[in-house]
A and B are shown apart, each in its own frame.
Chain A
Amino acid sequence: AQSVTQLDSQVPVFEEAPVELRCNYSSSVSVYLFWYVQYPNQGLQLLLKYLSGSTLVKGINGFEAEFNKSQTSFHLRKPSVHISDTAEYFCAVSPISGGYNKLIFGAGTRLAVHP
């Protein structure tokens, strides 16, 4: 079984400051890793995903994430945030073996960017 822990439920930050949203996971099998973003009153959309290869993954809107296998983490970072980045961010995993697309989500981190 898999589980995902997002270590911060809310992260307040000022505009143009850097931000890191933390995600740890637990799994008995290898997993793919995802970050999804949910803007207010909208559905989720993919920010980035790690499948294999380089552990640093770049996504849309200037976000990037680093996969750390030894620490079972997949933290999301952005060097300079904008007001428009205010949203809820979800980390998720999907098992590699078995060939099925079952996403297991964390509880979410609400990012609030202040002017």
Chain B
Amino acid sequence: NAGVTQTPKFQVLKTGQSMTLQCAQDMNHNSMYWYRQDPGMGLRLIYYSASEGTTDKGEVPNGYNVSRLNKREFSLRLESAAPSQTSVYFCASSEGFFGQETQYFGPGTRLLVL
């Protein structure tokens, strides 16, 4: 039982390049999330998927797109990377979308945009 997995672990991009961050969970969870973590700011929600087939914007969605490919997988795409998108990206999942539910986090992707 791997939990939440993310690929790649590290990535360096040049300004204007595109990339997709992959996330998969094997816990049969319905809800999935993408966060970014910046020093001194905690984690901020980029996009979420309350259930398969739905996605919605979080606090900081500009410059990103997402796809809920199936119940297991939720990808995050940067169409034209900018230095301001240098961050650590975490994917998370939860069984449902109720406020009391625990979110389970992946190990993160460290992205540097030059």
Contact = CB atoms under 8 A, between A and B. Distances in A.
Interface of A: 4, 9, 31-32, 34, 36, 41-46, 49, 51, 90, 94-96, 98-103, 105-108
Contact of A107 (B42, B90, B98, B101): B42
A113 B31 CA distance: 35
Contacts, number: 69
B102 to A, nearest CB: 5
User: Which of B45, B99, B102, B107 has the largest number of chain A CB atoms within 10 A?
Assistant: B99
Interface in B76-102: 90, 92, 94, 96-102
Interface in B15-57: 31, 40-45, 48, 50
B4 A43 contact: yes
Nearest to A51: B100
Given A44-B103, A99-B98, A105-B44, 14 more contacts: A9-B40, A32-B100, A43-B105, A43-B107, A45-B105, A90-B43, A96-B99, A99-B99, A101-B96, A101-B98, A102-B45, A103-B103, A105-B43, A108-B40
Nearest to A52: B100
Given A100-B50, A101-B94, A101-B97, A49 B102 contact: yes
A43 B90 contact: yes
Interface of B: 4, 31, 40-45, 48, 50, 58, 90, 92, 94, 96-108
A101 B99 contact: yes
Contacts of B106: 43
Contacts of A32: 99-100
B42 A101 contact: no
A99 B42 CA distance: 23
30 contacts: A32-B100, A34-B102, A36-B105, A41-B107, A42-B108, A43-B107, A43-B108, A45-B104, A45-B105, A46-B102, A46-B103, A51-B100, A90-B42, A90-B43, A95-B99, A96-B100, A99-B98, A100-B98, A101-B31, A101-B94, A101-B98, A101-B103, A102-B48, A103-B43, A103-B103, A105-B42, A105-B43, A107-B40, A107-B42, A108-B40
A99 B98 CA distance: 5
A43 B43 CA distance: 11
